[in-house]
Amino acid sequence: MLYDLNIPWSPTTSPADLARTISFASSLGYTVLALNHTITPPIPSQITNPLPKFPSHSTTATPPPPTGTPSQPSQQQQQNKQPTILHRATVTLSDPSQNYRLPTLALAYDILAVRPTTEKAFQAACLSMAEPSLISLDLTQHFPFHFRPKPLMAAVARGVKFEVCYAQVLASSPSTSSSASGGGIGPPPDARARATFISNFASLVRATKGRGIVVSSEARGALGLRAPNDVVNLLAVWGLGSERGTEALGVNPRGVVVNEGIKRSGFRGVVNVLEVGGRESDVKKNQQQGQGQQQGKKGKKQQGGGAGGGGGGGDKGNAQKRKTPDEGGDGAQPTVSKRQAKKLRLALKEQEKEAS
């Protein structure tokens, strides 16, 4: 499965443009998309999710026409198949000491991400913040700090991923909106912004060793999207290997979605564990072993009862207490301890002295 966790949405986005972007992303092979709503503090106390709702999976229930080959899906099924649509919120983070209401905001969306703009906010997002599972970076901007391996690897160990958006190189600044026709991506960025993006991306790959990177589009139109193979090749040119690039489109974003789902379905890290039924052969084998053990116990009980009846002892049987040598059951002399033997010798010596 391929993921694109950043399809920007704003109140000015037309439904036709959004539907066209989603349809084109689905045709490129992306099966899970996330509509991103960027929120700038202050966050209101009453939080509502304004993102439009789409059906997660909708496939036609009618069978394909008999004229088509059975191995090829019909054109109607391809058109009716829709990707899974998630809702995401991205909070611009500048001062971590402020109250951003992140726990309340996380309950209203499927995915919560932060976009730090200062070194203090970046350190807090990497080391201490528990609500966001994704740190989104605008690599076209010049950061007032460097990407150091220690905080970044600590974030990767915690399960936090770093998002890189390739449309930032293809499109202009984020304030530029799409054209009225719904397909444009705006004029290309200048050479300085492109060089800054490549430099920041190389520093990020060097600090994380290519781990924990999620690649999204952040495309404001259908023309800003790229096919998965093109994205992997583009990342390889920028310094990320093809294997890590494939993980950035599949495994890593899937981990973000799964972790966010566990946070909302579990309670304090407790997850229900369901018993899985075994194979039929294993179940029959265990039943046969249990029946054999029960039959063995019954046979032992019957043997014990027969031995007790033959001895004439009634219910004593094998449970009769064994007599010790001290009790004299077999006529043997009782044993004498060393202390008692020493006392006897001393007593005999005293008697001999008195007699003499």
Whichever domain contains 167, its CATH number is 3.20.20.140
Instruction: Determine, yes or no, domain membership for 297.
Output: no
Q: What is the pLDDT of residue 74?
A: 45
For range 33-43, the mean pLDDT:
92
Among residues 35, 39, 42, 41, the alpha carbon closest in space to that of 21 is found at 35
Strands 3-9 and 32-39: parallel
User: Rounded to an integer, what distance in angstroms lies between the CA atom of residue 183 and that of residue 55?
Assistant: 23
* Average pLDDT for 280-297: 70
How far apart CA 105 and CA 42 sit, in angstroms, is 12
Which of 126-140, 281-295, 333-347 has the least mean pLDDT? 281-295
SS3 262: helix
Residue 127 has pLDDT above 60, yes or no: yes
**What average pLDDT score do residues 256-279 get?**
71
Structural domains of the chain, count: 1
Q: Cis check for the bond before 334: say yes or no (omega within 30 of 0).
A: no
Span 265-277, average pLDDT: 61
Instruction: Return the top range by mean pLDDT from 30-34, 51-55, 344-348.
Output: 30-34
Q: Are strands 84-93 and 134-136 parallel, antiparallel or unpaired?
A: unpaired
- pLDDT at position 299 is 62
For residue range 85-103, list pLDDT tens digits in order.
999 999 999 988 887 788 8
Q: Which domain holds residue 125?
A: 3-60+73-265
**Would you say residue 318 lies in a domain?**
no
Among candidate residues 124, 136, 24, the one with its CA nearest the CA of residue 83: 24
Average pLDDT over residues 147-153: 95
- Is the residue at 328 inside a domain? no
The average pLDDT across 34-63 equals: 75
pLDDT class of 175 with cuts at 50, 70, 90: very low
Q: Each residue of 329-342: pLDDT tens digit?
A: 455 556 778 888 88
Amino acid at 219: A
Alpha-carbon dihedral of residues 42, 46, 52, 57, nearest 10 degrees?
110
Angle at the Cα of 20 from the Cα atoms of 74 and 112, rounded to 5 degrees: 110
**Over residues 202-225, mean pLDDT:** 94
Residue 326 placed within a domain: no
| pLDDT band with cut points at 50, 70 and 90 for residue 296 | low
Mean pLDDT, rounded, of the chain: 79
Q: Is residue 312 part of a domain?
A: no
Q: Given this model, what pLDDT does residue 313 score?
A: 46
